[in-house]
Amino acid sequence: MTTPTTPVNESATEKFSVKTKQTTPAATTSQRRGVRKAVIVGGNRIPFARSGGAYSHCSNQDMLTAALDGLVARFGLADEEIGEVAAGAVLKHSRDFNLTREAVLGSALAATTPAYDLQQACATGMEAVIGLSNKIKLGQIDSAIAGGVDSASDAPIAVSEGLRAILLDLNRAKTMGQKAKIISRIRPKDLSPDAPSTGEPRTGLSMGEHQALTTAQWKISREAQDELALASHKNLAAAYDRNFFDDLVTPFRGLSRDSNLRGDSTLEKLASLKPVFGKSLGDNATMTAGNSTPLTDGASAVLLASDEWAQARDLPILADVLDGEAAAVDFVHGKDGLLMAPAFAVPRLLARNGLTLDDIDYFEIHEAFAGTVLSTLAAWEDEEFGTTRLGLDGAFGSIDRSKLNVNGSSLAAGHPFAATGGRLVATLAKMLHERGQVDGRPARGLISVCAAGGQGVVAILEAR
């Protein structure tokens, strides 16, 4: 841990303090000297499909391969050897131990392209981008593809723990007698399968139930959540209509737009939905299917490179990956909400780069639930949270809502867990490139993604 450069007050010695992890911008610059840039060339994803829909019978490998092939076609990379490909899935079959490598082998990329799987819940795609960018910055690789995929439709179903123990014992048995004895242990309850859930192992609560508690804690109204959901649908639909996604999305299995998108939704329609999470809160239950993301299938991929690699191939350069940061919260003991880690990661990341919220031109805050985005913004605007939890002199700050998720986000597009990071990075990189300069400096964008286990990964991109 870096020595604090300024004295810290008592309340800021908490483990989530901004200042305990902060290094001054000057030190950062000197540390980075000799480290090259990692740039975003572009991205590709397949349209996201509500689970049980268009991709019901597609595996994670099918979808990730399709996302890679679309990326290869967009940038003419057939037979090209990429430095490294990293991707992952949150809901993963045990047979997919080498999912990303298998997808690479099935794609048009050179078979000599190395690949590895990684997994950090919903932040998988973000961590892939940040990790690979760092490798590029260090000169270990010149090019990389970061991706993610998830299928809630083709989720693995395991046998019960009881049956699993019996089957393993059976495998070890030597005589028929032993085998018969072991088989006789099977009880009807052992035969019910064990399906994956979004429940937190340590609390038993689903992600939605957790968020419902946080939403109530920050007193986020139903109307505010519905408005955010509506804006997400309207913005995403508008972006499709002006062909914004022509070079970001490649159709798959008959789908050319995200199937969750409801461009014609209205506040009235959203208001008519019954709460699905936090029902124990009675009249204070605000979270509906309309302001929560549905289970979704999909895949995304982002092409990263060094300047030299991109230039040598006459590839576009959309943005730099400036910096990234992860944080985690102690949601188990109720200190913070499950999905509130970005509220801590963002202040640390901005401080390290000598930036404030005012220096950001686009905010991409992943809409796991409308309540997540609004709780995060509320925390940043809260004086007490700023002083006691972030160790600041006051509230962290507020953002100009016209800069938030301007081309829609997960409430409209859907959220195939590991694929969301790639969607956000590619979308923001294109927006920043189109924006170009702001006040004589490159346009900047911030991405914030919350994840299961009380985690969050955030990053800053800068226009090229």
Examine the residue annotation and report whether 450 is marked as an active-site residue of this protein: yes
d(CA 234, CA 256): 17
Least distance CB 318 / another protein (angstroms) = 13
Indicate whether 264 belongs to the interface with another protein (CB under 8 A): no
Between 66 and 91, whose beta carbon lies closer to another protein? 66
> What value does the CA radius of gyration of the chain take, rounded to a whole number of Å?
23
The binder of another protein chosen from 66, 130, 303, 327 (CB under 8 A): 66
Least distance CB 311 / another protein (angstroms) = 12
The binder of another protein chosen from 218, 252, 363, 385 (CB under 8 A): 252
CB 233 within 8 A of CB 261: yes
Give the pair of three-digit tokens for residue 133.
């960018």
Number of residues that bind another protein (CB under 8 A): 25
Examine the residue annotation and report whether 122 is marked as an active-site residue of this protein: yes
Between 249 and 419, whose beta carbon lies closer to another protein? 249
Between 71 and 425, whose beta carbon lies closer to another protein? 71
Examine the residue annotation and report whether 415 is marked as an active-site residue of this protein: yes
Indicate whether 408 belongs to the interface with another protein (CB under 8 A): no
Indicate whether 302 belongs to the interface with another protein (CB under 8 A): no
- Encoded amino acid at 6, one letter: T
Least distance CB 238 / another protein (angstroms) = 16
Indicate whether 53 belongs to the interface with another protein (CB under 8 A): no
Give the pair of three-digit tokens for residue 335.
């200190």
Indicate whether 108 belongs to the interface with another protein (CB under 8 A): yes
- The 3-state secondary structure of the chain reads CCCCCCCCCHHHHCCCCCHHHCCCHHHHHHHHCCCCCCEEEEEEECCCEECCCCCCCCCHHHHHHHHHHHHHHHHCCCCCCCCEEEECCCCCCHHHCCHHHHHHHHCCCCCCCCEEECCECECHHHHHHHHHHHHHHCCCCCEEEEEEEECCCCCCCECCHHHHHHHHHHHHCCCHHHHHHHHCCCCHHHHCCECCCCECCCCCCEHHHHHHHHHHHCCCCHHHHHHHHHHHHHHHHHHHHCCHHHHCECCECCECCCCCCCCCCCHHHHHCCCEEECHHHHHHCCEECCCECCEEEEEEEEEEECHHHHHHCCCCCCEEEEEEEEEECCCCCCCCCCCCHHHHHHHHHHHHCCCCHHHCCEEEECCCEHHHHHHHHHHHHCHHHHHHHCCCCCCCCCCCHHHECCCCCHHHHCECHHHHHHHHHHHHHHHHHHHCEECCEECEEEEEEEECCCEEEEEEEEEC
Indicate whether 69 belongs to the interface with another protein (CB under 8 A): yes
Least distance CB 198 / another protein (angstroms) = 30
Taking contact as CB under 8 A, which single stretch among the options 75-83, 113-121, 344-352, 402-410 is the one that binds another protein? 75-83
Indicate whether 75 belongs to the interface with another protein (CB under 8 A): yes
Indicate whether 106 belongs to the interface with another protein (CB under 8 A): yes
- Encoded amino acid at 391, one letter: G
d(CA 49, CA 32): 41
Least distance CB 74 / another protein (angstroms) = 6
Residues between 374 and 393 with contacts to another protein, criterion CB under 8 A: none
Between 310 and 374, whose beta carbon lies closer to another protein? 310
The binder of another protein chosen from 268, 314, 393, 439 (CB under 8 A): 314
Indicate whether 241 belongs to the interface with another protein (CB under 8 A): no
Indicate whether 249 belongs to the interface with another protein (CB under 8 A): yes
Indicate whether 156 belongs to the interface with another protein (CB under 8 A): no
CB 147 within 8 A of CB 128: yes
The binder of another protein chosen from 43, 70, 416, 456 (CB under 8 A): 70
Least distance CB 410 / another protein (angstroms) = 22
Indicate whether 14 belongs to the interface with another protein (CB under 8 A): no
Active-site option among 210, 233, 366, 415: 415
Active-site option among 122, 210, 233, 366: 122
Residues between 212 and 231 with contacts to another protein, criterion CB under 8 A: none
Least distance CB 313 / another protein (angstroms) = 8
CB 134 within 8 A of CB 459: no
Between 73 and 183, whose beta carbon lies closer to another protein? 73
Active-site option among 210, 233, 433, 450: 450
Between 68 and 365, whose beta carbon lies closer to another protein? 68
Taking contact as CB under 8 A, which single stretch among the options 164-172, 245-253, 302-310, 347-355 is the one that binds another protein? 245-253
- Catalytic residues, by residue number, are 122, 415, 450
- The footprint of another protein (CB under 8 A) covers 66, 69-70, 72-76, 78-79, 106, 108, 243, 245-247, 249-253, 256, 314-316
